[in-house]
């Protein structure tokens, strides 16, 4: 699933970054790598911080029909946008207005496509699966019946009308949240050695 996210960054980046005259050609890949790191790191931090429900709500009822503007109102997305914009200014000396424009288009654009393709029943989008996304950041593997090693089918929640049982905008998962949080924390420690950064850097070479 990580490769699908990286591919979406590359696709979205063609217009937002590569064709942007304000971004030097020599910086194109570095900007897209920073965006990919921001999105991957954002998901990792969300899961390790107990934010599984926030991710699920993005892909279930809360994710339906989301466009760039509605995604920008999501605090998690706003945090990713701010993080990317700040790094583009600090690390690559981009003009703050240019950096903000890139971040405000690239992050929501990628996430909107990710949600749309993951919710889609089109066989062409079979590679987009919420189980695989969560497994990518918890060190698990989705099984053949599309369930996680901890026994819960997250993909099955997508489009499920009864997912939000109490109308509070969250899917109540209890022990599943705790299990995923613990796994994500362990995976985050393992990835501090640079494995995720190496994967992203290799993708944009």
126-159 residue pLDDT tens: 888 888 888 888 776 544 444 444 456 777 655 5
Domain residue limits at 141: 2-203
Lowest mean pLDDT among 36-50, 54-68, 77-91, 139-153: 139-153
pLDDT > 70 fraction of the chain, expressed in percent and rounded: 65
Per the model's pLDDT, the better-predicted residue between 41 and 198 turns out to be: 41
- Strand, helix or coil at 149? coil
Buried b / exposed e over 137-166, threshold 16 CB at 10 Å, is bbebebeeeeebeeebebbebbeeeebbee
Lowest mean pLDDT among 71-80, 180-189, 196-205: 196-205
The number of domains in the chain is 1
């Amino acid at each position: 699933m990580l490769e699908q996210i990286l591919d979406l960054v590359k696709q979205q980046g063609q217009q937002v970054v590569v064709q942007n005259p304000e971004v030097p050609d020599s910086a194109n890949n570095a900007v897209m790598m920073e965006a990919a790191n921001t999105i991957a790191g954002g998901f990792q931090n969300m899961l390790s911080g107990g934010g599984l429900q926030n991710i699920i709500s993005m892909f279930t009822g809360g994710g339906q029909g989301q466009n760039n503007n509605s995604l920008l109102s999501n605090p998690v997305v706003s945090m990713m946008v701010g993080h990317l914009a700040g790094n583009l200014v600090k690390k690559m000396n981009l003009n703050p207005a240019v950096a903000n424009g890139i971040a405000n288009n690239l992050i929501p654009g990628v996430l909107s496509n990710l949600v749309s393709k993951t919710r889609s029943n089109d066989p062409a989008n079979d590679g987009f699966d919420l189980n695989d996304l969560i497994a990518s950041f918890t060190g698990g593997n989705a099984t053949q019946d599309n369930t996680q090693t901890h026994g819960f089918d997250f993909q099955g929640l997508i489009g499920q009308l009864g997912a939000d049982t109490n109308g509070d905008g969250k899917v109540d998962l209890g022990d599943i949240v705790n299990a995923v949080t613990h796994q994500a924390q362990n995976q985050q420690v393992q990835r501090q050695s640079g494995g995720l950064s190496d994967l992203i850097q290799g993708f944009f070479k």
